[in-house]
């Protein structure tokens, strides 16, 4: 089965074609970073309009890349949530319309299920069951994954997500949008242990996260510096170390609680070099395994949507012709693929 995947949940237009027998055939991505940079963050209306302009040309580019025609597509998968409602509507309407016009089934995909399954696109995919850390600008969650649609939420952020805290702290330091990757780059020049940041919610049991206080601590620390590049780099290093240590501690607890040894990390923050190093070292020490998507599939992309959609389409699941989007869509509401709904 060849599935066209469409991702338009926020500020990236991602299109891909996934073949269940031959793997990924095409992958196209357009980032709106330059469009939103002047505003210091994503402007929803501008994001929606840009998706309108880019989605169909990227679909044509993906078909060309794969040397396919529309009649070669067996199904269409599109992100229906969570995300920006206007952006979701663009991809959902285009995806559902193409499926109707091509007379193939369509499937609405949960954005975070796409991220969760992204490591399955690699040559050495994880086997079920495993614990997944979904860590991005909008989500920080620990999930026990027993199969497609078999998800148990173990813990999540009670306020800011880890990626959101990175971006907000970067803005406090005067870094341009997108701030998170820039802060991580600056942290490479920082000296360890120059500043001591707390590891929030690690002094109590449980698997929930909280990063808003860490952002406030960073703001106070930045105000105490002289604003020199080195001192700001030292603050960036201390902040990143605190976030990464917190994530590692919670991952360790989740594996201990579930008795599992396989850990999957996905979402935009999973591209962070320091986080990857620390989790890889941790997994080696406990005799476990850690799986990451390649960097290009950490951020939003069509490949993860095409793959996730293909798994549900293969199981017989279908989405009816009425277009529905879910700006807020808890992962726990998903269920195992359950046959045709129309």
Binding residues for substrate: 134-138, 167, 180, 272
Binding residues: 111, 115, 134-138, 167, 180, 272, 300
Whether 341 has a pLDDT exceeding 50, the answer reads: no
Q: Please give the Cα distance from 317 to 339 (Å, whole number).
A: 4
Tell me if 2-117+297-333 shares its fold with 128-292: yes
Instruction: Express as a percent the part of the chain with pLDDT over 70.
Output: 99
Q: What is the CATH number of domain 128-292?
A: 3.30.420.40
pLDDT (tens digit per residue) in 244-259: 999 999 999 999 999 9
- Phi, psi torsion values for 178, nearest 5 degrees: -80, 130
Q: What pLDDT was estimated at residue 280?
A: 95
Architecture of the domain whose range is 2-117+297-333: 2-Layer Sandwich (3.30)
Q: What is the mean pLDDT of residues 138-161?
A: 95
Question: In the chain, where are the structural domains located?
Answer: 2-117+297-333, 128-292
Q: Please give the Cα distance from 296 to 271 (Å, whole number).
A: 8
Q: Please give the Cα distance from 277 to 227 (Å, whole number).
A: 29
Binding residues for Fe cation: 111, 115, 300
Helix axes 179-187, 162-172, angle to 10 degrees: 80
pLDDT (tens digit per residue) in 191-245: 999 999 999 999 999 999 999 999 999 999 999 999 999 999 999 999 999 999 9
Q: 101: which 2 tokens?
A: 């016009």
Instruction: Record the pTM.
Output: 0.94
Q: Please give the Cα distance from 64 to 66 (Å, whole number).
A: 5
CB 119 within 8 A of CB 266: yes
């Amino acid at each position: 089965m060849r599935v066209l995947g469409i991702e338009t949940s926020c500020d990236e237009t991602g299109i891909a074609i996934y073949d269940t027998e031959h793997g990924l055939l095409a992958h196209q991505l357009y980032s709106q970073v330059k469009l939103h940079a002047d505003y210091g963050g994503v402007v929803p209306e501008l994001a929606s309009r840009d998706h309108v302009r880019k989605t169909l040309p990227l679909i044509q580019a993906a078909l060309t890349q794969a040397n396919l025609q529309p009649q070669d597509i067996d199904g269409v998968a599109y992100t229906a949530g969570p995300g920006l409602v206007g952006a979701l509507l663009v991809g959902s309407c285009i995806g559902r319309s193409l499926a109707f016009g091509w007379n193939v089934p369509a499937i609405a995909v949960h954005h975070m299920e796409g991220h969760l399954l992204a490591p399955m696109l690699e040559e050495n995919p994880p086997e079920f069951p495993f614990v997944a850390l979904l860590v991005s600008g909008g989500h920080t969650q620990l999930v026990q994954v027993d199969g497609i649609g078999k998800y148990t939420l173990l813990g999540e952020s009670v306020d800011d997500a880890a990626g959101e805290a990175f971006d907000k702290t970067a803005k406090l330091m005067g870094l341009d949008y997108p701030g998170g990757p820039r802060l991580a780059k600056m942290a490479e020049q920082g000296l360890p242990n120059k500043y001591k940041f707390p590891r929030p919610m690690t002094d109590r049991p449980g698997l929930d996260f909280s990063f808003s206080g860490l952002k406030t601590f960073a703001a106070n620390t930045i105000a105490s510096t002289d604003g020199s590049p080195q001192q700001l780099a030292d603050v960036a290093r201390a902040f990143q170390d605190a976030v990464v240590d917190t994530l590692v501690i919670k991952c360790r607890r989740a594996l201990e609680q579930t008795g599992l040894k396989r850990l999957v990390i996905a979402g935009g923050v999973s591209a962070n070099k320091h986080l990857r190093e620390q989790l890889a070292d941790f997994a080696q020490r406990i005799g476990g395994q850690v799986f990451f998507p390649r960097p290009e599939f950490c951020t939003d992309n069509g490949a993860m949507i095409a793959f996730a959609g293909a798994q549900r389409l293969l199981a017989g699941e279908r989405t009816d012709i009425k277009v529905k989007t879910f700006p807020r869509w808890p992962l726990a509401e998903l269920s195992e693929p359950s046959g045709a709904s129309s």
